[in-house]
Amino acid sequence: MKQLQNRRFTGVLASVAVLGMLAGCGSGSTGEGGSEGGGGSADGEVSGTLEIQYFVGGYGDEWWKTVIADFEKEYPDVTVEQHSGPNINQEMQTRWISGDPPDVVYIDGAGISQTQMVEDGQLMDITEWIGGVEMPDGTSLSDSFIVPPDEYDGKIYSLPLIFDTWGTWYDQAWFDENGWDVPKDFPSWMDSMEQIQKDEGIAPFITTGQYPYYFSRGVLYPAFASAGGDRLLNAVIDGEEGVWKSDGVMTVMNRVKEMVDAGYVDQGFAGLSHTQSQSNFLQHDNAYIPVGFWLPNEMANDTPEGFEFGFIPSPMNAEGDPMVLVPDLRSMAIAEQAENPEAAKAFAEFAFQKQYAKSFAEMSGALINIEGVDLSEEPNVPEYLKQANELINSGEVDVHHKNHPMSSDMELPIGDALVKFLLGETSVEQFTDEAASIAEQYRNSQ
């Protein structure tokens, strides 16, 4: 399997005609169906009931409904039972705990953790199977990913379906109107927030306190990668001994402390949901927010007229260093106790088709994690995606790769500690002490 090395983002996606802009997957005809009649890599008969669990959030559910409808046409002996919605992860917890899970699960949203599911033995080891899956053009699926699947001790338990990346958003029209410069590094970001606070009398930065991983993944992860590359980023995610007291982490957390001490972080963030914080941002109560590429789609009905989404990698990098993006994958997996594994494998193959990648781009504004999807001539590409693509292809941005997500056993308590830190209730030393203690407890539990 090819590995994604630390290299400029233009190098990662330049080979992908896909980046005429950043966008993702959709629907299409069944003419390019993955494995007709259950052939291909789904070795047994493809029939019966297939249960699929998928979270409905910022990407919506139009793509899922389209792909599922096409799959049922391609496989008329299969009936798909959909379990979906914004709270589906919580609603399905009892079934997972009782050993009666759905066959396929899309791992996204609150209340679900891929790493935790792997640790709990809930996901099927697909390491050998994935090596034999072919795309309709005959190429290996494993060789077609933009970013390779997450690995746990060399084993693969999920297929990286959606390619997204966290970053910092702003209103380009508002910035142009006020003559504000878009930052490129941490010093210029601090200068920008100082100017905005002076001009508008607002706290420039907002995030959600109910889901503090928005700040971790949107601000801290690229900052750690900028300070210490993949090595430091993955050491934090794995909870390695000593990492929270390392020079790189301390440098990053001291920068965050500067933001807090200067009053740039809106202190009302702690009680806000992600949609509330996004609504405040859209109403210019704040100027910057860390979110992924689903933001414009999720808030389409609440976006004021004239608002122009601008996106940059979170500017936590030192002056003179390139900006950093850390791809954030949304994966699809098959349950270890799936009752219909053959239909589950057939569906997984079916979903990774290039025509579905194109329609996902239009429907959701993010990428399916497949190379060679040309979106450059697609008429419905949002301007912010073209802006992101221009930035990426400028050669000014580095991409870094996390091996797998952080376990919820660490991420949740560290998130609680992070909220206190962003509220100014703890020092850098106190926060990193607490994070180190949480990481130690996690290591000891493994």
Q: What pLDDT, on the 0 to 100 scale, is given for residue 137?
A: 80
The DSSP string of 380-427 is T--HHHHHHHHHHHTT-EEE---SSPPPHHHHHHHHHHHHHHHTTSS-
Above 70 in pLDDT, residue 342? yes
Question: What's the pLDDT tens digit per position in 287-331?
Answer: 999 999 889 989 999 999 999 999 999 999 999 999 999 988 899
Contact 232, 298 (CB under 8 A): no
Q: What pLDDT, on the 0 to 100 scale, is given for residue 215?
A: 98
What percent of the chain has pLDDT above 90? 73
Q: What pLDDT, on the 0 to 100 scale, is given for residue 382?
A: 73
The DSSP string of 5-61 is -SEEHHHHHHT-TTBTB--------GGG-SSGGG-TT--S---EEEEEEEE-STT-S
> What single-letter DSSP state applies at residue 123?
B
Beta-carbon contacts of 441 under 8 Å, excluding residues fewer than 6 positions away, are none
Least confident interval from 33-37, 274-278, 312-316, 429-433: 33-37
367-368 sheet: strands from edge to edge: 78-85, 48-55, 104-107, 327-334, 159-165, 367-368
Identity of residue 334: I
Q: What pLDDT, on the 0 to 100 scale, is given for residue 390?
A: 63
E strand map for 144-263:
159-165, 167-171
Mean pLDDT value across the chain:
88
- Counted residue by residue, the chain has a size of 446
pTM: 0.77
> What single-letter DSSP state applies at residue 270?
G
Q: What pLDDT, on the 0 to 100 scale, is given for residue 378?
A: 73
Confidence at 30, pLDDT banded by 50, 70, 90? very low
Beta-carbon contacts of 403 under 8 Å, excluding residues fewer than 6 positions away, are 150, 151, 234, 237, 238
Q: What pLDDT, on the 0 to 100 scale, is given for residue 361?
A: 80
Report which of residues 17 and 224 the model is more confident about. Answer: 224
What percent of the chain has pLDDT above 70? 87
Least confident interval from 44-48, 131-135, 240-244, 420-424: 44-48
397-399 sheet: strands from edge to edge: 7-8, 397-399, 323-325
Confidence at 27, pLDDT banded by 50, 70, 90? very low
Above 90 in pLDDT, residue 368? no
Confidence at 417, pLDDT banded by 50, 70, 90? very high
Above 90 in pLDDT, residue 14? no
Above 70 in pLDDT, residue 39? no
Above 90 in pLDDT, residue 439? yes
Q: What pLDDT, on the 0 to 100 scale, is given for residue 391?
A: 65
Which residues share a beta bridge with 159? 332
Question: What's the pLDDT tens digit per position in 228-270?
Answer: 999 999 999 999 999 999 999 999 999 999 999 999 999 999 9
Question: What's the pLDDT tens digit per position in 176-212?
Answer: 999 999 999 999 999 999 999 999 999 999 999 999 9
Least confident interval from 57-61, 254-258, 359-363, 430-434: 359-363
Q: No. of H helices and E strands in the chain?
A: 18, 12
Above 80 in pLDDT, residue 159? yes
Residue with tokens 């493994």: 446
d(CA 413, CA 390): 38
Q: What pLDDT, on the 0 to 100 scale, is given for residue 387?
A: 65
29 C-beta neighbours (distance < 10 Å), count: 12
Confidence at 16, pLDDT banded by 50, 70, 90? very low
Q: What pLDDT, on the 0 to 100 scale, is given for residue 389?
A: 58
Confidence at 336, pLDDT banded by 50, 70, 90? very high
Coil, strand or helix: which one is 253?
helix
Domains parsed from the chain with CATH numbers: 7-164+328-399 (3.40.190.10), 167-325+409-445 (3.40.190.10)
Above 90 in pLDDT, residue 12? no
